[in-house]
Amino acid sequence: MGKSTKSKVVPLHPEADVPAPVSDRPPPGQRIQKAISQAAARQIDRTQPVRVDMKIQADGTPLMCCPHDDPTGFTVHLKETFGSSSFDFAWRQVGLVRTAVNATDRDEMNAALAFVGGLKPADEIEAALAVQMVGVHEASVRLLATAMKASTIDAQERYINMATKMQRTFTAQVEAMKRYRSSGEQTIRVQHQNVTVQEGGQAVIGDVHGGGRRG
């Protein structure tokens, strides 16, 4: 019986913050400047995702709160993010998001909230599905990262298989969201046809193109 190999799932943390500009770097070229300008214009029209302030207390439990001095506005923004009129529901989803992605700091938490906000849940069902989706997405990528660092082929295969299951689940969740949003409605297209009766009583269905008779 082979020896089992244990691998710790790799956490996904950025290696460092975005580096500060260095004086000896060249300015962006014309095409990059154009792309930046276009991106900046699109960013203005995007909805700013809700954010929370988060600190890990001495006992390891997270403390999350409003990140600015407008708690009323924060409450409205939070409820809208989760498609609900209930603050209790919305705040509960914030805790579930943290659990789903195992967020250990404010940046990880707010990144996950941006994922949910980007889906724009219209009600509590869509919000619940969005929370599940962010967790499945996080799990699948972590499993792939773990597979790449596995020390044996067996361990690598195991983590890739688990990641594949998560990816299939994510695809199913996307389809479920589409079906729910369409409320199961089906579009029936009715195409009208022209019926023309020619000489001799022969009916022609469809487009009829007339032409001169050759003598």
54 inside domain: yes
Provide the β-strand partners of residue 197: 203
Instruction: Report, as an integer, the average pLDDT of 128-143.
Output: 97
Residue 16, pLDDT above cutoff 90: no
Please, what is the average pLDDT of the chain? 86
Q: What is the DSSP letter of 197?
A: E
53 inside domain: yes
85 inside domain: yes
List the structure tokens of 194.
Answer: 């022209």
Report pLDDT digits (tens) over 179-202. Answer: 999 985 655 566 666 656 666 666
- How many structural domains comprise the chain? 1
pTM over 0.85: no
**Can you give the pLDDT at residue 12?**
64
153 inside domain: yes
37 inside domain: no
Report pLDDT digits (tens) over 22-54. Answer: 678 899 999 999 999 999 999 999 989 999 999
- Which of 83, 84, 134, 88 shows the shortest CA–CA distance to 108? 134
CA distances for 40 relative to 31, 33, 43, 88, 140, angstroms:
14, 10, 5, 35, 31
157 inside domain: yes
Q: Which residue has the higher pLDDT, 3 or 155?
A: 155
Angle between helical axes of 106-119 and 124-148 (0-180°, round to 10): 130
Q: Percent of the chain at pLDDT above 90?
A: 67
Identify the domain containing residue 59 by its residue range. 47-181
List the structure tokens of 210.
Answer: 């007339």
28 inside domain: no
**Can you give the pLDDT at residue 24?**
80
**Can you give the pLDDT at residue 114?**
97
